[in-house]
């Protein structure tokens, strides 16, 4: 069964996974927890699964960490390092905030858990930490706000409303403000991003479907200054519920999302996106999110193979080993990139007159972008056993597509052709 799993996009060996939870860095390790049903490939029995990585690309699955109890299933939450030695725990303990779903009979509540063994074992604390009356409140994201000297907890409350809470001791959280965001729903995040090419920084409020809202934050309230934007383009039902990692040693804002991929052979359902480093780019229409691959991931690409094409010519090469495909494309007109697998071809093509990118893969046909989108001259493709990520414009656009028909199929050859001067730089990662 080993060949049904993507090489670089994490998924559980067995069972359902969804929202990333408790994303935190400590001691050279990135911890990833996630919504998980360890008993089957369908949504049920929500538990916190667990995986870890040292390079942001290869993940090792660990034993589940939080199990349902009398308060309900374990729904989404976040994690931090206990750097201020609160809750009577050492400063290297990990503190987690999670939603207990009330067993659907009583209000959802927010609780804490901790780990003193590097995230391997989580122990629950008995007291809920919020008294906010919203019945279905959920998805706490916690971070330290240095300027106002407090921990901030952002929470989905109801409808398009979110709450901002503050605490000095991680025990008592008080509501500081409510914010209503257009189409905002579930899984909030709030972080400060650098604006590339300047000394400026802006705060970004994030919602589950990739809606983001640029504005200002003073530790108490968020003031939206830009219209709502979407982080993902051209993707149907993908991705969702992204969360940023707490405590990155380089000060980066690193994000990972749930990909709602199809169930494969009734064994595993769902996967995680590749990690992206977030920043902002300021243009004529305001601030736009940039989602670049972290340098640790780029460093693992190694030496590539260049395919060149000009004037309806083509070039290709065969693969002797199994792996995920990274392709950086540079073109000046119509082209076709064919990823040939044991189960058929995945073709990414640009037609001369349409100026839109199309994807055809065996029995699966999808559409990327819109008829109004001018296809950029440079963009990147990542193909990993039926999961396809396409990004462009300095990686400010991101489309992710699920091609389950190809999940078990190894890539055997790459073919590239174009009407004008073009090239594709191909990298194979295991």
pLDDT at 38 over 60: yes
Q: pLDDT, tens digit, for every residue of 168-199?
A: 999 999 999 999 999 999 999 999 999 999 99
Q: Which of 97-106, 235-244, 325-334 has the lowest mean pLDDT?
A: 235-244
Q: Which parts of 211-305 fold into alpha helices (H)?
A: 295-299
The percentage of the chain sitting over the pLDDT mark of 90, rounded to a whole number, equals: 73
Three-state DSSP class for residue 302? coil
Instruction: Find, among 117, 113, 112, the residue nearest to 92 by Cα.
Output: 117
Q: What is the mean pLDDT of residues 279-302?
A: 93
**CATH class of the region 11-297:** mainly beta
Instruction: Find, among 360, 369, 384, 380, the residue nearest to 425 by Cα.
Output: 380
pLDDT at 275 over 80: yes
pLDDT at 260 over 70: yes
φ, ψ for residue 233, nearest 5 deg: -125, 145
Distance of CA 55 to the CA centre of its chain: 16
In the prediction, which pLDDT does 422 show? 87
19, 209, 384, 402: the catalytic one is: 19
Taking the domains of the chain in order of start, what are their residue ranges?
A: 11-297, 301-429
CA distance 328 to 424: 6
In the prediction, which pLDDT does 370 show? 34
CA distance 114 to 22: 11
Q: What is the mean pLDDT of residues 236-261?
A: 93
pLDDT at 261 over 70: yes
Q: pLDDT, tens digit, for every residue of 150-170?
A: 999 999 999 999 999 999 999
Q: What is the mean pLDDT of residues 335-344?
A: 90
Average pLDDT, the chain: 91
In the prediction, which pLDDT does 237 show? 65
Strand ranges in 245-385 using DSSP code E only, listed in sequence order: 254-259, 268-269, 271-272, 276-283, 286-292, 305-309, 313-318, 324-330, 335-341, 344-350, 357-361, 364-368, 378-384
In the prediction, which pLDDT does 377 show? 81
In the prediction, which pLDDT does 378 show? 85
Q: Do domains 11-297 and 301-429 have the same CATH topology?
A: no
- 135 neighbors 108 (Cβ within 8 angstroms): yes
Q: Could you tell me the sign of the dihedral formed by the alpha carbons of 251, 230, 206, 300, in that order?
A: negative
Q: pLDDT, tens digit, for every residue of 109-158?
A: 999 999 999 999 999 999 999 877 789 999 999 999 999 999 999 999 99
pTM of the model: 0.95
pLDDT at 363 over 60: no
Q: How many helices (H) and strands (E) does the chain have?
A: 1, 35
Q: What is the mean pLDDT of residues 336-353?
A: 84
CATH number of 301-429: 2.60.120.560
- 190 neighbors 278 (Cβ within 8 angstroms): no
Report residue 331's pLDDT band, with 50, 70 and 90 as the boundaries: confident
CA distance 338 to 276: 25
- Among this protein's residues, is 55 annotated catalytic? no
Q: Which of 14-23, 179-188, 329-338, 349-358 has the lowest mean pLDDT?
A: 349-358
CA distance 21 to 3: 27
């Amino acid at each position: 069964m080993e060949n049904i799993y993507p090489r670089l996009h994490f998924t559980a060996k067995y069972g359902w996974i969804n929202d990333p939870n408790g994303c935190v860095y400590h001691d050279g390790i990135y911890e990833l927890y996630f919504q998980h049903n360890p008993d089957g490939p369908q949504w049920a029995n929500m538990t916190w699964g667990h995986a870890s990585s040292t390079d942001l690309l290869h993940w090792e699955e660990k034993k589940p960490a939080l199990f349902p109890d009398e308060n309900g299933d374990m729904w989404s939450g976040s994690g931090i390092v206990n750097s201020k030695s609160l809750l009577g725990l050492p400063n290297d303990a990990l503190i987690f905030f999670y939603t207990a779903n009330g067993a659907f009979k009583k209000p959802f509540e927010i609780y804490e858990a901790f780990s003193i063994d590097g995230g391997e074992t989580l122990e629950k604390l008995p007291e809920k930490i919020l008294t906010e009356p919203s019945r279905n409140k959920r998805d706490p994201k916690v971070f330290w706000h240095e300027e106002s000297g407090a921990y901030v907890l952002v929470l989905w409350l109801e409808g398009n409303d979110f709450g901002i809470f503050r605490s000095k001791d991680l025990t008592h959280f008080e509501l500081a403000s409510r914010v209503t965001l257009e189409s905002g729903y579930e899984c909030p995040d709030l972080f400060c991003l650098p604006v590339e090419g300047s000394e400026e920084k802006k705060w970004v409020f994030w919602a589950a479907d990739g809606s983001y809202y640029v504005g200002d934050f003073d530790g108490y309230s968020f003031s939206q200054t830009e219209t709502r934007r979407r982080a993902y383009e051209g993707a149907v039902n993908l991705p969702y519920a992204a969360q940023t990692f707490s405590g990155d040693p380089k000060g980066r804002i690193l994000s990972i999302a749930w990909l709602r991929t199809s169930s494969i052979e009734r064994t595993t359902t769902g996967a995680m996106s590749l990690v992206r480093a977030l920043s902002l780019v300021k243009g004529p229409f305001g601030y736009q999110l940039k989602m670049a691959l972290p340098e640790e991931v780029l460093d693992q690409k190694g030496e590539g193979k260049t395919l060149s094409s000009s004037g309806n010519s083509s070039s290709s090469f065969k693969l002797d080993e199994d792996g995920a495909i990274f392709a950086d494309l540079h073109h000046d007109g119509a082209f076709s990139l064919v990823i040939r697998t044991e189960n058929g071809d995945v073709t990414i093509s640009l037609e001369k007159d349409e100026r839109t990118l199309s994807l055809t893969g065996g029995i699966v046909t999808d559409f990327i972008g819109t008829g109004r989108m001018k296809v950029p001259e440079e963009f990147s493709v990542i193909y990993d056993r039926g999961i396809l990520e396409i990004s462009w414009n300095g990686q400010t656009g991101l489309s992710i597509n699920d091609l389950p028909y190809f999940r078990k199929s190894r890539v055997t050859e790459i073919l590239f052709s174009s009407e004008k001067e073009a090239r594709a730089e191909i990298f194979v990662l295991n």
